[in-house]
A and B are shown apart, each in its own frame.
Chain A
Amino acid sequence: MEVLMPQLGETVAEGKISTWYKNVGDKVEAGDTLFEVETDKATMEVEATESGFLTDVNFTAGETAAVGTVIAVISDSADSAGKSTATSVEEKPAGDNGTGGAEDILMPQLGETVAEGKISTWYKSVGDQVAAGEKLFEVETDKATMEVEATVAGILSDIVIAEGEAGPVGTIVARIGGGTGGTSPKQEAPKPTTPSMDLERFRPTSQPASGHLDPFNEVKTPALVRIAAKIPDGIKLTPVAKRMIQTNGIDAARLSSTVLSRGGSRVAKKDVLEFLNSGQSTSVAAEKPEFLKVTPGPHDQVVELNRFRKITAERLTASWQTAPHVYQAVEINFTALNKTRLEHKDSYKERHGTSLTFLPFIVRATAMALRDFPHVNARFDGENLVVGKEINIGIAIDLDGDGLVVPVIHNTDEMNVPGIASAIHRLVEKARESKLAPSEFEGGTYTISNNGSFNTLMTTPIINAPQVAILSTDTIQRRPVIAGSGEDEKIVPGLLGVVGQCFDHRAFDGAYSARFLNRIREIIETRDWSRDFD
């Protein structure tokens, strides 16, 4: 059967294939995602509606095709000549262990809400000998990158998902020790001891009318339609509305809000049609106004953002556009704190092997302040402030100009400065080596962006939505400070730094934020920091 470029929206005539999830020759099952299509309105995944072998791919990743053109062909047998599958050697179904002792390397769990990852780098090639524990490849998701190691020693026999390609969590990425190698494994399936559930043979040959059915699939269940957007509470979508939303790339949240606002509790077909016709269907990333369009000159270099940056860009834009950002800052005198820091610097280094910087102190102070100002330790869902029970501070870490990760210290307020320092260090190391576990960047309630090493005075960071605020710490440097008063007033050197917060003005107002910031300052300037080192 032919896989066509699907309808992409009322006014959309063509789409770009951004990613292929299958290779030519792969066995596909009905429901498998084949490829992803991008338009300037939305991206959409296209699934196989029938099982078979992907025998022809007419458009590769990066190419554009018109709606309705044949993108690929799924055939009954692995070669397009249409030989009966009963006579050809069949590929083992994915996930089956034991292609003669081969070990499957699967796409690992990448995070609670992450369904797939893209292989950004392959460190090994087919035929290479790998040792157990050796790095095989690196996976990117929109949250982080992660390295995957070989679980057994052996020859890397198959690479199923190549560099630059993506695959769902749990599917086979590669195989170690299987057959004679290759990129599309076609090995003799072991003789089954229990009846196989290959239902292909139940397709009746003399029944053209119901040829798409078999005795165990008398009814053809459609692929699930998932709407990623968060639908507000109190509204339901009819199934056909869901499908139309997906097909047309409509902003479901906006459509639902529109219906809700006029008192409806259900989005039905007519609502979708109305929405489409009213022109509101233009989503956030809609028709670009002329002045924003960029035409590269002959010598300009076009640097395509990597997937990670693109997704970060989307999130930052969304955060910026939904939360009214307000920046406030306080200037903090770190002189006293620094004394304690210097007192314990060496013993800390001796014990942990790393430097004791200002950051853990600031984090500690922030955690304590958050206890007193719980609304800052919250997330906003558009309607409600969800105040966090735990204080989980995320530290934004810049990966040498190649992305940003925010690992989270859980229950920060229960840790002392050395504890926080160690935690930060450990997380930074892991982040730099792309070894962060999903739990290590989930659950954050507040974020600190540490710009101290950039020699900047202050920074207005973008809130890590759906949190309600983010702190920036900038350079701490020696500056003249006025000490004393009246007759004793003099200028002394002191260590000063600007600590600023961007907050979502929907969540609370300037007075609350100011009090919070001043609390941090108070803690930093007046706390007996040696207590943390007892």
Chain B
Amino acid sequence: MAELTYREAVARGIAQEMERDNDVVFLGEDVAAAGGVFKATEGLIDKFGPLRVRDTPISEQAILGAAMGAAMTGLKPIAEIMFSDFIAVCFDYIANEFPKSRYMTNGQVKCPLVVRTGNGGGSRFGAQHSQSVENWAMMIPGLKVVAPSSPSDVVGLLAASVRDPDPVIFFEHKSLYATKGEVPDGEIVDQLGTAKIVRQGKDATILALALMVPRALEAAEKLSNEAGIDCEVIDVRSLVPLDMQTILTSVAKTGRLYTVEENPRLCGWGAEITSIIADEAFYDLDGPLIRITTPHIPLPAADNLEDLALPSVDRIFAKIQTTMN
């Protein structure tokens, strides 16, 4: 067991897979020599050499297109898009090329690649470098979408993503890079499509993702101590495939559901999950399904404003406390 930062876990996960399989290659902007702008890929070029760890020009379309061509013809590429906001620049590959080629070609073409990208706010980078866009990927048929919240999940889910034969978009959270966590030694492979109950409870279920997970946990503690409300917190981890069974089982137990979402309000990941619950688990519900989200605005740069926008522990606490009765 070792204590790693989230960013160290990224390098560890990539290294684990590159060691295992020679077909795993890695490309991106400033990822090799510089070790990544977030220093998440330091040491990889030293370990695996410049043929397997490659720096690219500022060419997001070329990065993803090349990853796809390589994946189609036998390699297992990991491509980095520096800031998840930039997937808008190369969205054709994410929306039209990766996820549809297998289907359109009746199963002839495969696309076993991973796109890693720095997602989320809290780092004061301003509106175009702070977005949470996992919901942009969630809505496209044929992709898999992952967003880990802890270092050990980073390693395990990254490994699972690399080994997955389908295109996976792997959303790392920029504000979590510095956080620390225990990571077991040895090879770690987790499972996509599995959510994790990170706190057991009986009064209400809280679903959260990435940065919102520690905040939900803190709010749950506070709710337990100060309001006598015992919340179950679920780290969704994988938006596609979605572990609805874990979520539905929890809702059947508690009857109340909250989501804590960093994406702006409209069409966030929680909108889909709450709609499934409102249908399938309707008769388990003891109250309305409540989503706690960032407001539907671009994100400001100033720290007090950005902190106001993203769901905070206090805001999560207050919302749950006032709506549980």
Contact = CB atoms under 8 A, between A and B. Distances in A.
Given A240-B255, A269-B255, A219 B279 contact: yes
A238 B276 contact: no
Interface stretch (A157-165, A185-193, A220-228): A220-228
Given A219-B279, A219-B280, A221-B279, 11 more contacts: A219-B276, A222-B280, A222-B283, A238-B286, A239-B283, A240-B255, A240-B285, A240-B286, A242-B283, A268-B286, A269-B255
Nearest to A246: B283
A241 interface: yes
Interface residues of B, number: 13
29 contacts: A209-B245, A219-B280, A220-B279, A220-B280, A221-B279, A221-B280, A222-B281, A222-B282, A222-B283, A225-B283, A238-B255, A238-B285, A238-B286, A238-B287, A239-B282, A239-B283, A239-B285, A240-B255, A240-B283, A240-B284, A240-B285, A240-B286, A241-B286, A242-B283, A243-B283, A268-B286, A268-B287, A269-B255, A269-B286
Interface string B252-266: 000100000000000
Interface in A219-254: 219-222, 225, 238-243
A207 B56 CA distance: 39
A209 B279 CA distance: 19
A220 B281 CA distance: 9
Nearest to A238: B286
Contacts of A269: 255, 286
Contacts of B255: 238, 240, 269
Contacts of A242: 283
Nearest to A221: B279
Interface string B272-302: 0000100111111111000000000000000
A204 to B, nearest CB: 13
A240 B280 CA distance: 12
A276 to B, nearest CB: 15
Interface of B: 193, 245, 255, 276, 279-287
Contacts of B281: 222
Nearest to A269: B286
Q: Which of A209, A240, A243 has the most chain B CB within a 10 Å cutoff?
A: A240
Interface residues of A, number: 14
Contacts of A239: 282-286
B103 to A, nearest CB: 12
Contacts of B193: 209
Contacts of B283: 222, 225, 239-240, 242-243
Interface in A426-466: none
Nearest to A223: B283
A38 to B, nearest CB: 23
B267 to A, nearest CB: 17
Contacts of A222: 280-283
A192 to B, nearest CB: 25
Contacts of A220: 279-280
A268 B287 CA distance: 8
Q: Which of A209, A238, A242 has the most chain B CB within a 10 Å cutoff?
A: A238
A385 B286 CA distance: 34
B273 to A, nearest CB: 11
Interface string A87-130: 00000000000000000000000000000000000000000000
A205 to B, nearest CB: 15
Contacts of B282: 222, 239
Contacts of A243: 283-284
Contacts of A225: 283
Q: Which of B279, B280, B283 has the most chain A CB within a 10 Å cutoff?
A: B283
Contacts of A219: 276, 279-280
Nearest to A270: B286
A240 B278 CA distance: 12
Interface in A175-214: 209
A221 B193 CA distance: 22
Contacts of A221: 279-280
Contacts of B245: 209
A225 B284 CA distance: 11
Nearest to B251: A240
Nearest to A218: B276
Contacts of B286: 238-241, 268-269
B289 to A, nearest CB: 11
A269 B251 CA distance: 13
Contacts of A240: 255, 283-286
Nearest 10 pairs between A and B by C-beta? Answer: A243-B283, A269-B286, A238-B286, A239-B285, A239-B283, A240-B286, A219-B279, A239-B282, A220-B280, A240-B255
Nearest to B277: A219
A241 B287 CA distance: 10
A221 to B, nearest CB: 5
Nearest to A222: B283
Nearest to B245: A209
Contacts of A238: 255, 285-287
A219 B283 CA distance: 14
